[in-house]
């Protein structure tokens, strides 16, 4: 496999709260480098969580990017993410909780 920048179709999308969900659906992988700022109460993983909620695998290293070049691995991760963030699961959990009270 060729190294970063020579065999990948990479496109930078400026983060926009109003269009991020529709923008993410156009891509297979989201590249979000790890921040240099230490985690604190003001640092969040919103971009990562939003990407994962949309079923888009998030990578932060060349190794992860190369791993997800395999469409089968990427599709498996996408399905797992969609199941993990399926709001119907939360709705059922809330229904079960309310019924138990």
pTM over 0.75: no
Query: How many CB atoms within 10 Å of residue 51?
Result: 23
Output the six-digit token pair for 65: 């990017």
Output the six-digit token pair for 89: 């699961």
DSSP 36: S
Domain boundaries, the chain: 20-100
Output the six-digit token pair for 66: 């190369």
Query: How many CB atoms within 10 Å of residue 88?
Result: 7
pLDDT tens figures, 59-91: 888 888 888 888 888 888 888 877 887 888 888
| pLDDT on residue 95 | 93
């Amino acid at each position: 496999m060729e190294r970063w920048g020579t065999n990948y179709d990479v496109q930078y999308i400026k983060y926009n709260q109003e269009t991020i969900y529709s923008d993410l659906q156009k891509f297979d992988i989201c590249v979000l480098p790890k921040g240099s700022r230490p985690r604190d109460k003001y640092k969040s993983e919103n971009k990562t969580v939003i990407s994962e909620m949309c079923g888009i695998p998030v990578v932060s290293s060349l190794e992860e990017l190369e791993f997800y070049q395999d469409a089968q691995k990427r599709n498996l991760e996408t399905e797992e993410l969609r199941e993990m963030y399926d709001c119907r699961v939360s709705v059922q959990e809330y229904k079960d909780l309310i019924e138990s009270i």
